[in-house]
Structure 1
Amino acid sequence: MSSKIAQAVIGLFAALAVAGAAQASSLKACAVPPSVIPAPAEVPPADQVHTDVPTAAYLLALFWSPESCRAGIPESDKTIQCRSNDFGFTVHGLWPNGPDKVHPRYCKPSPPISAATVLANLCMTPSPWLLQHEWQAHGTCQWDSPEAYFKKARQVRERLNVPDLKPGPNGTMTAGQVRAAFLKRNRGMTADGLNVRVNKDNRLTEVWVCMDLDFKLAACRGGNGTPDPVTVRVTPRR
């Protein structure tokens, strides 16, 4: 093969790679405003400041967005999350967990994160307030900047094949079915590495994905939440 032909072939593959990346990126796109106002810096509750607790594991908390919007929880953004988009699971946060029931939190003060950083992460965590909270409450205990923290959260999230949930006609699934949806899509994931969370009305709110100190899937240290046989109510997507 001549050098010109080889160069042409390399150029073609490069173009295809760029096109493929653009397509993949567009599949993850969501509707975001042209500009945002970052949330103000949070004043940490004194009883939640734990600066000297060592990190023993990590956890990626995934909100079931339809329930967040239905319940109108403070963490959800009424426009970006609940009107402009139709999300399934969104990232609540990436959490360093301690060796016991107390976890690292609010390790250092931080000003509001930049508008550019908020915009860059709204398709992952569609709430300016929640982005600020997660950085201050969790990110400051491990990372040097909001950008580094959210970059790691994106990397962890993108390694997972997060399922969409489709409850039956009665709007329910068992907790085991929720776990099975994750296990089916993620090789190496085990049921004891998932914590299925419900509220007082037995509605699915979150799924926590547990990891070790190397961010590899691992058994949850704090239990697995709702047992498999329990029927939970799953708010459907629009």
Structure 2
Amino acid sequence: MTLRILLVAPMALAMSAAADAATTDQTCRLPARVEPAPARPTPAHEVSRTRTDHYQLALSWSPEWCRGRSDRLQCQDNSFGFIVHGLWPSASRGPNPRFCAPAPPLDAATVRRRLCMTPSPTLMQHQWAAHGACGWRSAEAYFDRTAALWSELRPPRLAAPTMTAGQIREAFVAANPGIPRAALQVRVAAGNRLKEVGICYDLTYRPTACPRGVGTPDGVVVRITPRRA
């Protein structure tokens, strides 16, 4: 998904349009000034340097995150569908790699360039520290790889108030024929509300069956929080 950012002086905002109208009409409005989030101390109890044997690209269903929240960028100025939560080095067994190395604060240019993909400077900093530092030498390389995988996807438009987890997988497969159903891990929040879809990749970034399973079973009815009009 290619995003173009254009400065609009009267509104002090930037607009970018998704290139693929066949899947989502998601637009992105950025503030004229973007502030990176500060780095936080590494939680020692969460450090895990286990071996990575696959990756997962986690896509959050933004309307569910915004339900009851008022973050201006993600929940007020924009009406996102799926956004990128993060790209996670993962292990088939045991704890996943986390906080593997020191992660310096992101610079403003890196944050701004990827903010339509992951619309939260705080989330971006956390993803770089918790996951990116387990597989990449620089934040730029981590977010470049994340953006490359994101750009290859056609996130489906989910307009129905309910779908089964199997139907959500089928919607992804229909829009992305190269992704097998077994590579799609559907995760729900309380009340069986759609929270996230994880896509599993092997070490060469080809979609592969998720070693830990597909999450929510096919027959479970999932409630889908609608996008803001």
Fold conserved between structures, TM > 0.5: yes
Q: Name the SS for the 1:143 alignment partner.
A: coil
Counterpart of 1:98, as a letter, is: A
Counterpart of 2:153, as a letter, is: L
Alignment counterpart, residue 59 of structure 2, candidates 46, 57, 62: 62
| TM-score computed with the length of structure 2 as normaliser | 0.87
Structure with the bigger percentage of helix: 1
The answer on 1:149 being equivalent to 2:142 is yes
Distance 2:130 2:68 in 1: 23
Mark the CA change 1:118 to 1:212 in structure 2 (over 3 Å): closer, same or farther: same
Q: Is the 8 A contact 2:58 2:198 kept in 1?
A: yes
Greater radius of gyration (CA): 1
The answer on 1:104 being equivalent to 2:102 is no
Distance 1:223 1:182 in 2: 17
Q: Name the SS for the 2:51 alignment partner.
A: coil
What is the percent sequence identity of the aligned residues?
A: 50
Mark the CA change 1:224 to 1:71 in structure 2 (over 3 Å): closer, same or farther: farther
Match of residue 198 from structure 2 = 208
Distance 1:65 1:234 in 2: 11
The answer on 1:181 being equivalent to 2:171 is yes
Distance 1:194 1:21 in 2: 24
Residue segments in structure 2 that go unaligned for 5+ positions in a row: 6-14, 19-26
Match of residue 21 from structure 2 = none
Q: Is the 8 A contact 1:54 1:99 kept in 2?
A: no
Distance 1:213 1:34 in 2: 37
Residue 176 of structure 1: how far off its partner (Å): 1.1
Alignment counterpart, residue 128 of structure 1, candidates 121, 128, 136: 121
Residue segments in structure 1 that go unaligned for 5+ positions in a row: 1-19
Query: Root-mean-square deviation (CA), in Å?
Result: 1.9
Distance 1:210 1:204 in 2: 18
Deviations, residues 60-105 of structure 1 (Å, cap 9, x unaligned): 0000000010043xxxx70110011100000000000023131111
The answer on 1:34 being equivalent to 2:32 is yes
Q: Is the 8 A contact 1:35 1:115 kept in 2?
A: no
Equivalent positions of 1:194-205 (< 5 A) are 194-205=184-195
